[in-house]
Amino acid sequence: MRFAVLDLGFLAFLGAVALLGLKRPFLWVLAFIYVDIVSPQDISWGFLKSIPVSLLFFLAAFGGWLVFDSKRGSRFTFRQWLMLLFFGLCAYTTTQAAFPVEAAAKWGWVWKSLLFGMFLPLTLRTRARVEAAVLIMVLAAGSIMISAGIKTVLSGGGGYGTLSSYVRDNSGIYEGSTLSAVAITIVPLIAWLAKHGTVFPPDWRVKSFAFCLGFACLLVPVGTQTRTGLLCIGVCAVMALRDAKRRFLLMGLMGTLGLMAIPFLPQSYLERMGTIETHDADTSASTRVAVWLDTLEYVKQNPMGGGFEAYLGNQIKYRTRQAVQTGDTVTIEYVDVVDKARAYHSAYFEVLGEQGWLGVALWLAIQLLGLLQMELIRWRLRKSTDPVDRANASLANALQMGHVIYLVGSLFVGIAYQPFIFYLVAVEIGLVLAVKRRAAPVEARGVPGARQALQPVALAGQQA
């Protein structure tokens, strides 16, 4: 009975959004982002599992834009062309894959991530739509973080590979390290929405919710006990200092809060974090290094990679360090271990091993170009007194921070094709186009005071 009520609740919500989309087709785009992140069909225990919810909203998003939505201001950018090339390369390597069946299964969801990542910027033709996409990304991912944060507190710290949020499936965004990376990635976006959001204008309620959501995100790495999460928190803290007016005060506050938190952290979490400095004493870390070295050797013989899931053919040998106690004496022994079909545990080596040198070059270009574009927006608008410019510069900063956090986290997790990173890329493209459209009339006319004259028009355009 309880499961039927859950299914009916989801069905009623998704049905309402589908109906509202008949008037505002862009809502179908937002609905797909929500469905793709949260996966309500996987949360379901009943009839919702048999409904292809993701595919239906995927088709609705494309069809709604193609038939009903305005195309004014839409354009295909250089980064989207790079994504199209990467899409084509992935399709080609899938046909030549070393493990065709497994490669086809992975391609079954990767193509959707890439295609929607290319498509989404075409729909983000106003500043309001860019904010709406950010809001849905944060709320959809945040709903998972709230559940994980609550379970972390109630379970006394969770556990590595054991903390479950909405589902008990340790895959996709619900996989521990992936969940930790995404949790910290959205923290800068939460802060931006709490300060500059217009859908929910900032007041004490919005700011209180944002604070609680950010705290839940910080709890996720503790609950999942992932070293990736701790690393992402460190990167987030360092980048937060970049624009801080009182850096030393903020550094002192961060250090104090960190020291105060230690007594409340579970011992199992502290012990696992302690293995960061001694990778050769940790089987997981030793395996990763061995796999990375094996991947480099593999692409020497296969420059185009081996297609999706090419790691299934690896056989690695590595040495790990173990402490052996005999009576009162503790000795260190080195043990040789042979393992097969070990995953890459790194987005960079994942792309390298599967798509070769060309693939990793395209993937890195897509990521790094976004960081550069966000920095250019920050630099260009840094001294503006216009509130819209300041909000755009702040959003560029938040997107850049989130992107860097995700890229650092992906050093140790195979999340190169996860939909969330392509949503982040799409929003960056949408922001770049919005900033260009806003500045183009001023630059073209070169009239002093033109920006002030155009400000009411720009603000009105945000409400479109």
Averaged pLDDT in 10-residue chunks for the chain of 464 residues: 69 88 92 91 72 88 90 87 97 94 94 94 92 96 89 66 63 83 95 93 93 90 82 88 70 62 52 51 68 91 93 80 62 71 90 96 96 94 89 95 95 92 96 88 47 43 44
Say if CB 180 and CB 174 are below 8 A apart. no
Residue written as tokens 């480099």? Answer: 296
Report the C-alpha gap between 134 and 145 in whole angstroms: 16
Contacts with 207 (C-beta within 8 Å, 6 or more apart), sequence order:
194
Please state the separation of Cα 275 from the chain's center in Å.
25
Give the pLDDT of residue 199.
92
Give the pLDDT of residue 464.
42
Report the C-alpha gap between 463 and 299 in whole angstroms: 50
Give the pLDDT of residue 99.
94
Q: Three-state SS string across 165-230, please?
A: CCCCCCCHHHCHHHHHHHHHHCHHHHHHHHHHCCCCCCCHHHHHHHHHHHHHHHHHHHHHCCHHHH
Report the C-alpha gap between 94 and 304 in whole angstroms: 11
Closest CA to 370 of 388, 397, 409: 397
Indicate the SS3 state at residue 13.
Answer: helix
Report the C-alpha gap between 195 and 244 in whole angstroms: 15
Report the C-alpha gap between 342 and 313 in whole angstroms: 9
Indicate the SS3 state at residue 106.
Answer: helix
Element (H, E) at 332: strand 329-340
Report the C-alpha gap between 30 and 142 in whole angstroms: 15
Instruction: Write the CA distances from 441 to 126, 444, 450, integer angstroms.
Output: 16, 5, 8
Indicate the SS3 state at residue 16.
Answer: helix
Could you read off the pLDDT of 269-320 as tens digits, one per residue? 555 555 554 444 445 667 888 889 899 999 999 999 999 999 998 888 766 6
